[in-house]
């Protein structure tokens, strides 16, 4: 399910015949070259949409990703979510491709973890079954919620292990929404995508 603010420009020729690796490199380049002002403006629109959803309002424990490399900026979302009383967790990825939700206390107390992704220096893990909402990054998504990640499989593993009550939402910019994303049995989709 898509939640968006702009009309979906379906760009079929963009991905026709491309491998996952080729799609990934094209979109990662667009993420890195997008103007910072556009990234900030669209990230705010996405934040506002997310915070208006019923699932976000009801969630007590939310797992956000710590954005990098031009992704939808989650820093303001995290700050505001904590301010309104949500327990905010972020992913800590282990070498066996297992993500564990870890409570984020202070943005200042982060260190680089596996794959160069920031994570809390002091680890206070929560059980995955206690997480109500997972905000998932992705390189690309399609209308069915299929996601193309960075190729490590960490989020696919996580999304497959979520409890029945948990909801997953992907955040993306409009150019990350494709007519279809090649998906295999090892890939996991998100429940919905919010983009701008």
pLDDT, residue 5, reads 38
Distance between CA 105 and CA 89 in Å, rounded?
9
For residue 113, the model assigns a pLDDT of 85
Residue 140's SS3 state is: strand
Q: What is the pLDDT of residue 109?
A: 86
pLDDT score recorded for residue 10: 40
Q: What does the pLDDT look like over 116-173, one tens digit per residue?
A: 889 999 999 999 999 999 999 999 999 899 999 998 889 999 999 999 999 999 999 9
Q: Please calculate the CA angle 6-28-147 and round it to the nearest 5 degrees.
A: 65
Cβ-based burial of 39 (10 A; exposed 0-12, middle 13-18, buried ≥19):
middle
pLDDT at 14 (0 to 100): 58
Fold of 2-195: Rossmann fold (3.40.50)
Tens of pLDDT along the chain (196 residues)?
Answer: 555 433 334 454 556 678 889 999 999 999 999 999 999 999 999 999 999 999 999 999 999 999 999 999 999 999 999 999 999 999 998 777 889 999 998 877 899 888 788 999 999 999 999 999 999 999 999 989 999 999 888 999 999 999 999 999 999 999 999 999 988 898 999 999 999 9
Q: What are the sequence ranges of the domains in the chain?
A: 2-195
Let me know how long the chain is.
196
């Amino acid at each position: 399910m898509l939640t968006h603010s702009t009309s979906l420009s379906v760009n079929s020729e963009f991905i026709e015949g491309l491998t996952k690796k080729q799609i990934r490199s094209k979109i990662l380049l667009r993420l890195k070259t997008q103007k910072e002002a556009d990234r900030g403006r669209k990230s705010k629109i996405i934040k506002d949409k997310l915070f208006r959803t019923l699932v976000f309002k009801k969630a007590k424990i939310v797992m956000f990703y710590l954005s990098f490399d031009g992704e939808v900026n989650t820093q303001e979302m995290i700050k505001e979510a904590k301010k309104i009383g949500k327990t905010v967790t972020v992913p800590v990825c282990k070498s066996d491709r297992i993500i564990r939700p870890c409570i984020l206390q202070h943005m200042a107390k982060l260190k680089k973890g596996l794959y160069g992704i920031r994570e809390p220096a002091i680890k206070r893990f929560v059980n995955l079954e206690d997480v109500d909402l997972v905000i998932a990054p992705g390189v690309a998504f399609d209308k069915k919620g299929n996601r193309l990640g960075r190729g490590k499989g960490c989020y696919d593993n996580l999304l497959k292990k979520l409890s029945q009550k948990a909801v997953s939402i992907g955040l993306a910019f409009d150019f990350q929404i494709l007519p279809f994303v090649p998906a295999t049995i090892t890939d996991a989709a998100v429940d919905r995508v919010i983009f701008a």
